[in-house]
Amino acid sequence: MLSHRPLRPFTSLLAGLARLPSQCEVCRAWPSQPVCDPCVARFAPPTARCGGCALPVPEGVARCGDCVLHPPPLDACLAACTYAWPWPDAIARFKFRGDAGWATPLATLLRSAPWVEPALEQCDIVLPMPLAPERLRERGFNQSLELARRMAPAKTDARLLLRTRETPAQSGLARAERLRNLRGAFAVEPLRADKVRGKRIVLVDDVMTSGASLFAAAETLRLAGAEHITAVVLARTDPPR
Ligand SMILES: [Zn+2]
Ligand SMILES: [Zn+2]
């Protein structure tokens, strides 16, 4: 998914700015939070997106062709920005280097995306996409949980949706193969399955690439009786060309 690319000017700029926390790390406006409002408006503009997979669609189009042909197990799918500069660098800092300074601005960005706030208000529970225990140990924290608990602290539950195993890299696999790979990768905590039945759920993830993991998690929740599932993702990758 995310690759570690060689340092680019933006990255070194970010590193240098550790000493200047009040400068926007994208455009260097000052004073500011990690990313200033004009940069959010410029690099995460409200975009018409498919209601099933959050890919950009022309204004007025509800679903993309793929989602019409193969409806995903989501009632709605919302994304705050496209996974493109400057967001991959910010997300990598947050996710792989545990830069907690980015957690709040990224959660704010996500919460401010169209329809996210109402989805959070109307749902019963907010579930972060879980990491398998060994991945969680490696990384030390779950980036999706950090986003979820900043957006909806009272509704976030990190012990309900479980990841039983990590799956190998999914890129290069066909959609059907990806879904097969993920079969059984998620489970609902058996002792608390009643918390899912008949409930409206928001599922939070940081980056959505093929959507296979989100769809597999949603299928698991659906089988456990979830009534309505909205995926809320920070960044959506562009469709493969
Ligand atoms: Zn800026
Ligand atoms: Zn779609």
Å from CA of 143 to ligand 2 middle: 25
* pLDDT value of residue 30: 75
CA of 239 to the centre of ligand 2 (A): 10
Rounded Cα distance, 23 and 57, in Å: 34
Ligand 2 centroid to Cα of residue 51, in Å, is: 6
Centre of ligand 2 from the C-alpha of residue 57, in Å: 8
Q: CA-CA distance, 194 to 191, in Å (whole number)?
A: 8
- At 188, the amino acid letter reads V
Helix (H, G, I), strand (E, B) or coil at 125: strand
Q: What is the pLDDT of residue 81?
A: 96
The one-digit pLDDT tens for each residue of the chain (241 residues) are: 444 443 344 444 444 444 445 788 888 887 777 888 889 899 999 999 999 999 999 999 999 999 999 999 999 999 999 999 999 999 998 888 777 788 999 999 999 999 999 999 999 999 999 999 998 998 889 999 999 999 999 999 999 999 998 876 666 677 777 777 788 899 999 999 999 999 999 999 999 998 999 999 999 999 999 999 999 999 999 877 6
Number of neighbouring beta carbons within 10 Å of residue 48: 13
**How far apart are the CA of 92 and the centre of ligand 2, in A?**
26
Q: State the ligand closest to the CA atom of 52.
A: 2
For residue 145, the CA-to-ligand 1 centroid distance in Å is 26
**Strand blocks (E) in the chain:** 76-82, 125-128, 161-163, 186-188, 200-208, 228-236
Rounded Cα distance, 138 and 96, in Å: 10
**pLDDT at residue 169 in the model:** 65
Residue 167's pLDDT is 75
Full-model pTM: 0.86
The residue with tokens 């940069």 is 39
Report domain extents, the chain: 47-167+174-236
CA of 52 to the centre of ligand 2 (A): 5
Positive or negative torsion for Cα 186, 187, 189, 195: positive
Q: Is the CB of residue 143 less than 8 Å from the CB of residue 166?
A: no
Options 3.60.21, 3.40.50, 1.10.10, 3.40.720; CATH for 47-167+174-236 is 3.40.50
C-alpha 137 to ligand 2 mean position (Å) = 34
Q: How far is the CA of 103 from the centre of ligand 1 (A)?
A: 17
Q: Which of 142, 118, 119 is nearest to 132 (CA)?
A: 142
Is 26 in a helix, a strand, or coil?
coil
- Per the CB < 8 A criterion, the answer to whether 111 and 151 are in contact is yes
- Tokens matching residue 240: 């493969």
